[in-house]
Structure 1
Amino acid sequence: MKKYFVFFLLSGATIAQAQQLAPLTVQKIMRDPKWMGTSPSNYRWSANSKTVFFSWNPENKEKDQPYKVSVLTNKPETTEDNAAEKAAETNYAYNKDKSLGLYEKGGDIYFYNFKTKKESRLTNTVDRENGARFLYNNDVVFQRGDNMFQLNMATNELKQLTNFVKGKRPGPGAPGSTPGSTAPSVQDTWLRNEQTDLFDIIKKRNKQGPRGGFNGGGPRRAFGGADASQRVMKPVYLDDKFLSAIVVSPDGKYVSYRLTTPTTNHNTIVPNYVTASGYTEDIPGRSKVGENLNVSETFIYNTDKDSVYTVKTAQIPGIKDLPDYVKDYPKELEERTKKNEDRKVSLGAPIWNETGSTAVIVADAQDNKDLWILKLDAATGSVSIIDRQRDEAWIGGPGIGRGIQWIDNNRFYFQSEATGYSHLYTFNVATGEKKQLTSGKWEVQRVDLSKDKTTFYISANKEHPGITHFYKLSVNGGDLVQITSMKGGNEITMSPDEKWIAINYSYMDKPWELYIQPNKPGAKAVQITKSTSAEFDSYKWRQPDLVSFKNRYGADVYARVYPATKPHPNKPAVVFVHGAGYLQNVHYWWSQYFREYMFNNLLADNGYTVIDIDYTASSGYGRDHRTGIYRNMGGKDLTDQVDGVKMLVEKYGVNPKHVGLYGGSYGGFITLMGMFKEPEVFSAGAALRSVTDWAHYNHGYTANILNEPFNDPDAYKRSSPIYYADKLKGDLVMLHGMVDVNVHFQDIVRLSQRLIELGKDNWELAVYPVEDHGFVEPSSWTDEYKRIFKLFETTLKK
């Protein structure tokens, strides 16, 4: 029987019957989050664009259940587990006029004719075939194992396009080596002589010579003689390298691929103490910043000439350019200038236009100071510049280097931070024209091209840094047309026919819910789900003040402020510092830090004014904000917290002598830096899962911001709390999971030893034996935040 749900019925209880949440306590808000209600997720449209499938749990069951809603009724109902898969649009790879489609099922390739509505199976093998697509002439190419194959749909002839062979090229005389290519070994000669002595047929065919079919006793090619029409493909030996990114050009002439040489690094180990076996068990960990990076090369195989050549990265403009920071190290600058070496780059797979006449390829410098979009001459492997993005800090920002797609045979689109904000551009390879389609002090956060390739669909924060809306824009440029209208967060899943949008929407005090709206401006969005529990709804959650202030450098900094309900006589304040560094938490949608949001409400109920700042390096504010911590973490990102406190003193009347701060991960790092570098501002701090020494964090994140420890040691010393521990004055609580595979427990242990050696006694460390970086157990969350609350109660209210 189908189950329908009226919005005000939640978990079988009305608000009147529900337990009242107020007053807030740590124990209440740190329970299993199911007590709040579970938001819908995992939205998928049916192929006919009439139904949205999603996961939801309004009855508070053990796990989410499958649901669906029709755009005709807007009533959610339970459905079968596999109903979404049955109704989903097949992920076809289409030919140029979309009359034919290919898809993979069970490791085999299937073909569908949309005119005749007939399906046929193209392969039926033990090996998996994947990556099937049409060439421009409607032939089909696909990958089987490490090799590419081409199927002529008119003749059914199957042709192997590549001959990649695992392992090393055979040496002279080794099994598999070409007969006659090298002098035979003593063993080869002995075996040949034995064959001749034993078998008359060998003697006979030796006399007949090469045309007799054995070619001097070598391997027989065909009964009765060699087949002159047999195609012999040159083997491409992979050695010990990894093969990836195989792409066949639309005309079938070229196959590009990447070979990566793996490197060996000293990986870390995370001990796990609470185990089922009773023994301490080691968890293999990551390597640390400054690790040896894999080296890859991109090659092109010319199928007509049966030849292989590399893409010529030495031709990239600026390939030898050194980053500016090297000037701070004269000896290194002299050595690197003398060597005059090409920088290492990583090449993406070629992106071909429809006919195969042109390909572009993206190159990233391994030091992440440059990103190039290059035009590839596949016949020679040569490249020429289309666009270069250079950043002396590091290349980044939404959409940068990703999502490049052809609009037509001459134009493709891409994103660039050239203006200081990530915006949308097109480039015409026929005319050389680069055209900027969007502009302003806001970011294009996501771009999708319509199926007819006439319209861009864009998610952007044009209205306000903390509001996302959905827009459309002609591929030729023009006015940006807003489609969504609800203030807050709007995450879009579009129907296959592009007539409807499923909106995952939330507001500051309202968790995510599903809405459905016609895909046109001014249309009304209809709420489909109501997920929060009656207990959650019984408390009046705050909509914090969303404010901005000028920091000491004159830049706008945005913040959320939770004014105290009844300020304590000491008028204390607490700063919450979000994690991840490049993340946004000052916005009008429901925070991913929902526990901290509730804790900030609890603090405000208990007389604290709380501020949550999108400090320098947070996302959503453009290039200068993003890179403002380059070579100095704990610089502007920390002074923004101090300037935010100054604003609280001036506008919210807090007492500057009673200010604390807390945060996790990057927020824990800033907390430590605040307690060490700004002891006159912060009298108490709680640092959760904190980085204490950036030389011990991972490469991908850290090397962008601080370069590498052996190349830029000053940046690491300047940015690591462990070097400032002697400045600690206030009360510090550190909290860390012992099986943290992201920020290792070793980090906090090293800082603890430093504090011991410095003779500091106003700190404590709470450890959580079963927790990774992101805590899971409600008991751990509860213990953690009870300690944080106690710290503030016993210090800031003195």
Structure 2
Amino acid sequence: MRNWLPGIIICCATLPASAQQAPTLTVEKIMQDTRWIGTSPDHVFWGTNNKTVYFTWNPDKALNDSLYGTPFNQASPFKTAPTDRARLLALQRGQYNTAHTAITYSLEGDIYLLDNKTGKETRITHTSSDEYDPHFSFQDKRIVYSDNDNLYAWNIADGSTAQLTNFTKGEKPAAKILTQQEQWLNTQQQTLFDVIKDDKEKREAATTFRQSVKTDTLKTLYTGDKEVTDTRISPDGRFVVYQLRKPATGAQSTKITRFVTATGFTTDIPSRTKVGEPLATYSTFIYDRQQDTVLPLITDQLPGLRDLPDYAKDYATHDTTIRSVVIHGPYWSPGGTHALVDIFSQDFKDRWLGVVDMQTGVIKAIDRQRDEAWVAGPGIDDPEEYGDATLGWLDENTCWYMSQASGYAHVYKTDVTTGRQTALTKGNFEVQEARLSHDKKYFYLLTNAVHPGEKQWYRMPVSGGEPQRITTMTGAHEVSLSPDEKWIAYRYSYTNKPWELYVQENVPGSKPRQLTFQAASDTFKAYPWRDVPVITFHARDGATVYARLYQPDPAKKNGAAVIFVHGAGYLQNAHKWWSAYFREYMFNNLLTDQGYTVMDIDYRGSAGYGSKWRTGIYRYMGGKDLDDEIDAAHYLESNLGIDKKRIGMYGGSYGGFMTLMAMFTQPGEIAAGAALRSVTDWAHYNHGYTASILNEPFTDSIAYRRSSPIYFAQGLQGHLLMCHGMVDTNVHFEDIVRLSQRLIELHKENWELAVYPVEDHGFTTPASWTDEYKRILKLFDTYLK
């Protein structure tokens, strides 16, 4: 075997002038502009009339997708007029009233109201300010919206507008306290001069009169050095709950250098901070408009707020400081009796649901979800994004929400007056989406109960019981529910069939009808894309691992194998729908055509298999997840006759990280690996993703030391190709440069680095895709065949 000399190769490959039309696959054909495949609908939503389905699409092979629509009872898509698109998209983001007879929305900074029965549209604001986030309040009699962080209410009946809040930066001016000297002089002046005494009496009388007459004076809410991040008003308009955010100080952001520019001069792109950065802090308050008072929400008594994480025992840590939390909500019950809040600790370990006493600000916890790794999963708030979770109210006293308390994401309800909790769905599967019907008779659920690699739509009575299946085709369904809930439109795909648009009645037993037919072009369909089976095998600890297995024609089988490692960590790819990794799917077909056996597994940390699987990588990325990949290699050797000395591996992002860990820490297992846009040192990645899995570098150095490839570079065996975009704002180019320097200092010669000057984390130019995958194919053909 020849050694590869270390070095940097600047890639400038160009796309062939014309794509090959023959069924034989080539890298050039696979990696050309994706429009050759066909066009799939995306971002599906319903019009407010319940009759038209809208979606982005590109049947004309234009530079970008356009917004299309089609009547739900036809299959005749039409391109929307440019003048209509902004309004249609604004309506999609609008908010309905309780009866679903009207919708309010924001368009180009102004607020509108649409009466769905009459079609009458009313423009509520017409200003130079940017008004946003409108919704119905005051028992649906007013529309409340935001403008410069303040709330305003527009009266539907008479068209009047009232300002509800008055946030002001800075501190409340302190009342002046007179010195003894000043007090004595004041008294002397009033004793000596009648005119000063008379002025004081007039001022006091005026103050007494104003206090005796009801006024509309708006209370000033001082925010100090904080910024308003969220405001929510109770259904009756009495309480305004607002959140203030104090930005962290001392957090240093990184910069990415762009080398290829129109000006000929390099430019810097501001990027993210690194894990362990100082975090912003949040505080939440109740403004009682009736009593003209402000109270803080009190979280100090949440159960377990001082609990130390289990990993602290590795460092003899005894700090029981109250942990910082972020409060989401409140979400009021229909009549406004109860206010539900969703609370997450900033160390990712806890989630609490609680009910707020609006008179005192005290939060009564009704549920605590604790995970010594990190709390997350379908339907649960992502602490990194600080968005809303999936929850709501069944009636005035019963809330519902999603939880992974059983180990899988399921729907629960709790009576907030008694604390009684009930699981409404159960089983070793995940409810991936849940939605309560308008009449509160049903839940609509998207689950993988049939198979971990499928997504099917169900309805279930709110009392629980066996869900009734509505969709039936094997694969995945991405469902959009019509406003009247009588119909569903969905993107559907199968393993070897890209996404198309379908519609059907939202009841069990209904039949789907296809609305689009251009996801696969004739050229694309000319090749017999494999219907890759999803298999299972057992890992060394007995766990069942799901995988896609590509097997070549026995006459072409070459005895070598390639393992593809999906990225993102928490993502699923051993499934029965059209993969987001469609380029890799096509490349795996090409490899199989050439005699390679290819395997693609959902290793520990992947989505779709519950919380234990999701958190299997906690404090050790490159531990059980890499064991799963190596066990896959052993499965190939033991069951499919693969030569153990001729197994390759490739993957991007997390998949690139895994490839590096395999090449550095598992000697002799992987003969050749391609690590693309790889994380090489987790201490240099972002906070939201990394800290949830590895904690922080300065609080859990053990986790970072054993999870970062750069510490194990001396173990490199086999032949390594690394590829990285120089404008990667996700996994920075710095990552691969640091590892390259480490390999140079270790005198390693069996590696190569290819860099791509204009590419971000996800490549955008066919030339770069083509060059990268020709190098990967050359790597495998050289060292595995």
CA distance in 2, matches of 1:756, 1:568: 39
2:231 aligned with 1:243:
no
Q: Secondary structure at the match of 2:352?
A: strand
Residues 225-304 of structure 1 aligned to structure 2 (within 5 Å): 228-264=213-249, 265-304=251-290
Which range moved further: 156-165 or 672-681?
156-165
| Maintained 8 Å contact 2:37/2:524 | yes
- After TM superposition, give the deviation of residue 713 of structure 1 in Å: 0.3
Q: Secondary structure at the match of 1:788?
A: helix
Change (3 A) 1:60 1:221: same
- After TM superposition, give the deviation of residue 251 of structure 1 in Å: 2.7
2:627 aligned with 1:639:
yes
Q: Secondary structure at the match of 1:405?
A: strand
Change (3 A) 1:404 1:204: farther
| Maintained 8 Å contact 2:40/2:498 | yes
CA distance in 1, matches of 2:244, 2:511: 51
In the alignment, which residue of structure 1 is the partner of 2:487?
A: 500
- After TM superposition, give the deviation of residue 235 of structure 1 in Å: 2.4
CA distance in 2, matches of 1:259, 1:384: 21
In the alignment, which residue of structure 1 is the partner of 2:8?
A: none
Change (3 A) 1:353 1:280: same
Change (3 A) 1:444 1:557: same
Listed one character per residue, the Cα deviations across residues 370-415 of structure 1 (whole Å, up to 9, x for unaligned) are 0000111111010111000000011011112412111221122101
In the alignment, which residue of structure 2 is the partner of 1:165?
A: 168
CA distance in 2, matches of 1:119, 1:570: 67
Work out which of the residue numbers 298, 306, 313 in structure 2 matches 1:327: 313
Q: Equivalent pairs: percent with the same residue? A: 49
CA distance in 1, matches of 2:331, 2:477: 31
| Maintained 8 Å contact 1:565/1:606 | no
Which range moved further: 22-31 or 399-408?
399-408
Change (3 A) 1:92 1:307: same
Which range moved further: 560-569 or 78-87?
78-87
Change (3 A) 1:112 1:523: closer
Q: Which amino acid is the alignment partner of residue 148 of structure 1?
A: L
In the alignment, which residue of structure 1 is the partner of 2:64?
A: 63
Q: Which amino acid is the alignment partner of residue 56 of structure 1?
A: W
Q: Which amino acid is the alignment partner of residue 770 of structure 1?
A: V
CA distance in 2, matches of 1:115, 1:536: 45
Change (3 A) 1:100 1:500: closer
| Maintained 8 Å contact 1:368/1:395 | yes
CA distance in 2, matches of 1:589, 1:507: 4
Listed one character per residue, the Cα deviations across residues 193-228 of structure 1 (whole Å, up to 9, x for unaligned) are 9xx9xxxxxx99745324535x69xxx989x99985
| Maintained 8 Å contact 2:286/2:361 | yes
| Maintained 8 Å contact 2:20/2:29 | no
Residues 138-537 of structure 1 aligned to structure 2 (within 5 Å): 138-150=141-153, 159-170=162-173, 206=196, 208-212=198-202, 228-264=213-249, 265-330=251-316, 333-334=317-318, 336=319, 340-401=320-381, 402-531=389-518, 532-537=520-525
Listed one character per residue, the Cα deviations across residues 534-558 of structure 1 (whole Å, up to 9, x for unaligned) are 1111101111121001101111100
| Maintained 8 Å contact 1:584/1:614 | yes
In the alignment, which residue of structure 1 is the partner of 2:570?
A: 582
2:775 aligned with 1:790:
no
Change (3 A) 1:267 1:72: closer
- After TM superposition, give the deviation of residue 118 of structure 1 in Å: 6.3
Residues 668-687 of structure 1 aligned to structure 2 (within 5 Å): 668-687=656-675
| Maintained 8 Å contact 1:389/1:416 | yes
Say which one has the larger Rg.
1
Change (3 A) 1:116 1:436: same
In the alignment, which residue of structure 1 is the partner of 2:11?
A: none
Listed one character per residue, the Cα deviations across residues 738-770 of structure 1 (whole Å, up to 9, x for unaligned) are 111111111111111111111111111111111
2:113 aligned with 1:136:
no
CA distance in 2, matches of 1:349, 1:491: 27
Change (3 A) 1:225 1:317: closer
- After TM superposition, give the deviation of residue 152 of structure 1 in Å: 6.1
Which range moved further: 41-50 or 145-154?
145-154
CA distance in 2, matches of 1:78, 1:246: 38
Q: Which amino acid is the alignment partner of residue 294 of structure 1?
A: A
Residues 500-649 of structure 1 aligned to structure 2 (within 5 Å): 500-531=487-518, 532-566=520-554, 570-649=558-637
- After TM superposition, give the deviation of residue 48 of structure 1 in Å: 2.4
2:774 aligned with 1:773:
no
- After TM superposition, give the deviation of residue 687 of structure 1 in Å: 0.3
CA distance in 2, matches of 1:90, 1:762: 54
2:640 aligned with 1:652:
yes
- After TM superposition, give the deviation of residue 433 of structure 1 in Å: 2.1
- After TM superposition, give the deviation of residue 20 of structure 1 in Å: 3.4
| Maintained 8 Å contact 1:466/1:586 | yes
| Maintained 8 Å contact 2:98/2:140 | no
| Maintained 8 Å contact 1:570/1:658 | no
- After TM superposition, give the deviation of residue 457 of structure 1 in Å: 0.8
In the alignment, which residue of structure 1 is the partner of 2:25?
A: 24
Q: Which amino acid is the alignment partner of residue 261 of structure 1?
A: K
Q: Secondary structure at the match of 1:615?
A: coil
CA distance in 2, matches of 1:110, 1:59: 33
Which range moved further: 296-305 or 506-515?
296-305
Q: Secondary structure at the match of 1:316?
A: coil
| Maintained 8 Å contact 2:558/2:596 | no
| Maintained 8 Å contact 2:28/2:770 | yes
Q: Secondary structure at the match of 2:353?
A: strand
Change (3 A) 1:254 1:70: closer
CA distance in 1, matches of 2:181, 2:328: 44
- After TM superposition, give the deviation of residue 78 of structure 1 in Å: 4.1
- After TM superposition, give the deviation of residue 64 of structure 1 in Å: 2.8
In the alignment, which residue of structure 2 is the partner of 1:36?
A: 37
CA distance in 2, matches of 1:92, 1:57: 26
Change (3 A) 1:129 1:672: closer
| Maintained 8 Å contact 2:137/2:237 | no
CA distance in 2, matches of 1:159, 1:46: 31
| Maintained 8 Å contact 1:19/1:535 | no
Query: What TM-score does the superposition give when structure 2 sets the normalisation length?
Result: 0.90
Q: Which amino acid is the alignment partner of residue 202 of structure 2?
A: G
CA distance in 2, matches of 1:116, 1:514: 30
Listed one character per residue, the Cα deviations across residues 317-354 of structure 1 (whole Å, up to 9, x for unaligned) are 11100000000111xx13x1xxx311111111211112
In the alignment, which residue of structure 2 is the partner of 1:199?
A: none
Listed one character per residue, the Cα deviations across residues 278-319 of structure 1 (whole Å, up to 9, x for unaligned) are 222211121110000001111112223322221111011111
Q: Secondary structure at the match of 2:617?
A: coil
Listed one character per residue, the Cα deviations across residues 129-156 of structure 1 (whole Å, up to 9, x for unaligned) are 4434222383554434333345666787
| Maintained 8 Å contact 2:557/2:596 | no
- After TM superposition, give the deviation of residue 113 of structure 1 in Å: 6.7
Work out which of the residue numbers 706, 711, 714 in structure 2 matches 1:718: 706
Which structure has more relative contact order (CA 8 Å, sep 6+)? It is: 2
CA distance in 2, matches of 1:433, 1:500: 34
Q: Secondary structure at the match of 1:462?
A: coil
Change (3 A) 1:184 1:533: farther
